[in-house]
Amino acid sequence: MPEAAPRVVTRRIVLDLDRCTGCRACGAACHVGHHEQTNLVPGVVADIAILPVHCRHCEQPACAAACPRDALYRDGSGFIRCSELLCVGCHTCSIACPFGVIPGDLTRHVSPKCDLCVDRVVAGGSPRCVATCTSGALSFTDLEMSAASPEYVGGRIQSRAIVRRA
């Protein structure tokens, strides 16, 4: 079957802080979908909450700039991907990422860099972590629409409802 022509996907993963229960289903789905290598980092907030921290697929990716093998590149969909042939698992991307979203442990000796489940996304679906989210906290949202929303703050939705998490 011929592959569909690549088109830039402007949607990204957004987390609604008021809905995340810390069940870690997103991490498990990522683990299952990526050969037992989890590509997302559980962010532990002072032992109060566990929230998934996703790769933002930056406009100017520090990880790609730092990679000594040029293994990280922007693909036709606009996602920052890691070439498994070029990557030597040197951890530099993990250290360079300003958001700390590339896990440091290597199960498969290549960088566990989020690929936004491109296989599902090009077929019109959403990444596994979003699809499996049990509380509806994760969404795969258009960046422009999100940026226009007052609730959207740097990849997160805040203050949709008044919640005391702590």
The whole-angstrom separation of Cα 165 and Cα 143 is 26
Sequence-ordered list of residues with C-beta below 8 angstroms from that of 53, at least 6 positions apart, any chain: 40, 41, 42, 43, 99, 100, 101
Residue with smaller CB distance to other proteins, 67 or 130:
130
The only residue of 40, 133, 146, 157 in contact with other proteins, by rule CB under 8 A: 133
Q: What is the CA radius of gyration of the chain?
A: 16
The residue within the footprint of other proteins, chosen from 47, 60, 144, 148 (CB under 8 A), is 47
Q: How far is the CB of 44 from other proteins (least distance, A)?
A: 9
| Closest C-alpha among 137, 111, 108 to residue 24 | 137
Q: Binder to other proteins among 8, 10, 32, 159 (CB under 8 A)? A: 32
Shortest distance in whole angstroms from residue 163 CB to other proteins:
7
Residues that bind other proteins (CB under 8 A): 18-19, 21-25, 27-29, 31-36, 38, 42, 46-49, 117, 119, 125, 128, 131-136, 160-163, 165-166
